[in-house]
A = this chain, B = another copy of it.
Amino acid sequence: MAEMQPETMEVAQRAFKQFTHGLATGAWQPFVDMLTDDFTFWFPMGKFHGLNVGKERASEFFEYVSEAFHGGLSVTLDRVTSNDTTVVFEFRDEGLMWGEPYKNRVAVSFDVRGDKICAYREYFGSDGKSN
C-alpha cells in the first residue's frame, strides 16, 4: 500500500481551517491565498453548478456564499479520509440562507499540489433543511 504523504494531510487541514473560517466569517482571502492559479472546483447546484475554473471565479463564488449566508455558516467536522494527493472532509453545516434556517451534510474533496489546493469537489448529503 502506498505510504501517505504527511504533507498532503497537513496542507489540506490548513486549507480546511481557512475554508471553514471563510464560511463562518466571510473572510475568504486566507483560503484564496492557498489556491493554485489553475484552481478549479465543482459545485452541485445553483448558479455555480458544475465545473468552475480559476481563482477569480472562486472569489466570485465565495462572495456569493457570504451574501447568501450573511451571518456565517458553522461547521461540525465528522470524518477525514485521504490518499497521497486528496483529502475528503465530511461535515455538517448550519446557519441562515437568505435569512431562512439552513442545515446540510457535506463532503468536500480537496486535491493538494505542493503547499496549495489545486482543485476541490463539493457534494451534498442532505436537502439544506436537515443534517
Which positions in A face B, CB cutoff 8 Å? Answer: 1, 4, 6, 9, 42, 44-45, 49-50, 79-83, 86-88, 90, 105-107, 109, 121-127, 130
Contact = CB atoms under 8 A, between A and B. Distances in A.
How many chain copies?
2
Given A4-B4, A109-B90, A109-B107, A42 B82 contact: no
A107 B83 CA distance: 15
A68 to B, nearest CB: 18
A50 B49 CA distance: 23
B86 A125 contact: no
16 contacts: A42-B105, A42-B126, A44-B126, A44-B127, A49-B126, A50-B126, A79-B86, A80-B83, A88-B88, A90-B121, A121-B125, A122-B125, A123-B123, A123-B124, A123-B125, A124-B124
Given A88-B109, A90-B121, 20 more contacts: A1-B4, A44-B127, A49-B127, A50-B126, A50-B130, A79-B109, A80-B83, A81-B82, A81-B86, A81-B88, A81-B109, A82-B83, A88-B88, A88-B107, A90-B109, A105-B123, A106-B123, A121-B125, A123-B123, A123-B125
